Chain A
């Protein structure tokens, strides 16, 4: 009926090793083409970055050219966990940037109030 436990267990460790390489800068598993691992890593990163940019365009605009390099560091340090949501990812990145002093903390919103218009 179901796959034998050994087949599942073997597959589980293979898949976990691959995702660890792709998402958390782990070592490339045996037998994979390292260049392709790198291509896939960058593609997954670009997809994730695009989603965070879409969900938080203001943060991306504020960071400007720093957005991509900062996000890429954040992403490797914080691979997406099972069950996490894209919005949480975007919020966590913003928080990470604030903690790193790359984004102002909280004062900006109040500034707007004093602006004309």
Chain B
């Protein structure tokens, strides 16, 4: 497996573009998209992703290799994305993008964010004494929210993202996520995947890199995931398929 494409210059890998455009979750989605595009994994209607081959061959990045390994046995789509988003390879990707000055360090942003919120709250409290300060409170809190929602991209990072070919479906996932739209078409449709299958956390949230925010936005399912998958269609079939108790009509092979 090759190391990811250089983070210098214009030639960024889809995963890197994905991270820039949508954070670790998007990078994870992009790795999965690349594997789908190369027919190295398949998705079933129940939402489970599985590797087509068990040998792990075909990955072009370390993150793809991790995903391939993970899905040797079927894993829910959203779990694949969630696990890959938290993977150390994604963290390494993040570091490389910081070093390449495509991303801003988040610590500075966090300090500014806390400052804005603190001033906003303070003004809010003071407005009990002087109601006119309420406007100021709103202004600071709004600025805080704005900053939080804003992407931490540098100018070079923005340029890299906007320069990617939207015609390529893997790059389409990188830029917009499986839930995004490109040229009026949903990105998941480019992969012939029904909407119900591609439930990802990142598809439903702002593309900014988020810190841990409890249940509302992080990499948890944000409300949507459980339902349609909980009634696992296989669960009561006696296990897989067929032939007097599972495994299909085929024989067990040698050993």
Q: Which residues of A contact B (CB under 8 A)?
A: 42-51, 54-55, 57, 68, 80, 84-87, 89-90, 117
| Nearest B residue to A80, CB-CB | B245
Let me know if B238 and A46 touch, CB within 8 A: no
Pick the 8 closest A-B CB pairs, nearest first.
A86-B239, A47-B252, A46-B252, A57-B73, A86-B246, A43-B252, A51-B246, A85-B238
Residue of A45, A54, A57 near B239 (CB, 8 A) is: A54
Q: Are A86 and B240 in contact (CB under 8 A)?
A: yes
B165 lies within 8 A of chain A by Cβ: no
Scan residues 218-246 of chain B and give those whose CB is less than 8 A from a CB of chain A.
Answer: 235, 238-240, 245-246
Beyond A54-B73, A80-B245, whether A46 also contacts B239 by CB under 8 A is: no
Least CB separation from B253: chain A residue: A46
For B235, list chain A residues within 8 Å (CB): 87
Question: What are 16 sample pairs from A and B whose C-beta atoms fall under 8 A apart?
Answer: A43-B253, A44-B252, A45-B252, A46-B253, A47-B246, A47-B247, A47-B251, A50-B252, A51-B239, A51-B240, A51-B246, A57-B72, A86-B239, A86-B246, A90-B239, A117-B86
Distance of A15 Cα from B179 Cα, bound (Å): 56
User: Interface majority SS on B: helix, strand, loop or mixed?
Assistant: loop
Q: Shortest Cβ distance from B117 into chain A, in angstroms?
A: 26
Complex formed: what's the CA distance from A56 to B227 in Å?
A: 22
- Provide the residues of chain A in CB contact with B72, threshold 8 Å: 57
A41–B115 CA distance with the chains assembled, in angstroms: 72
Q: Does B192 contact A (CB under 8 A)?
A: no
| Size class of the contact patch on chain B | 10 to 19
Q: Which residues of A contact B86 (CB under 8 A)?
A: 117
Report the minimum CB–CB distance from B97 to chain A (whole Å): 21
Nearest CB on A from B76, distance (A): 13
Query: Is B184 part of the binding interface, using a Cβ–Cβ cutoff of 8 Å?
Result: no
Does the CB pair A46–B240 fall under 8 Å?
no
CA distance A48 to B243 in the complex (A): 11
Give the distance to chain A from B67, nearest Cβ to Cβ, in Å. Answer: 16
**Chain A residue with minimal CB distance to B245?**
A86
Residues of B within 8 A of A57 (CB): 72-73
Do A43 and B254 touch (CB < 8 A)? yes
Q: How far, in angstroms, from A80 to B247 measured CA to CA in the complex? A: 14
Which B residues touch A51, using CB under 8 A? 239-240, 245-247
Contacts of B254 in A (CB 8 A): 42-43, 46
Q: Which of A42, A45, A49, A55 contacts B240 (CB 8 A)?
A: A55
Q: Which residue of A lies closest to B255 (CB)?
A: A46
A44: B residues at CB distance < 8 A: 252
Asked whether B251 lies within 8 Å of A55 as measured between CB atoms, the reply is no
* Closest residue on chain B to residue A86 by CB atoms: B239
Q: Which residues of chain B from 46 to 73 have a CB within 8 Å of any chain A CB? A: 72-73
Task: Pick the residue among B238, B252, B253 that contacts A87 (CB under 8 A).
Answer: B238
A92 and B113 alpha carbons, distance in the complex (Å):
54
Q: Mark B65-104, 1 if CB is under 8 A from A, else 0.
A: 0000000110000000000001000000000000000000
Alpha-carbon distance between A68 and B179 when the two chains are bound, in angstroms:
42
Most chain B CB neighbours (cut-off 10 Å) among A48, A54, A57, A90: A54
Q: Determine the chain A residues whose CB is within 8 A of the CB of B239 once the complex forms.
A: 51, 54-55, 85-87, 89-90
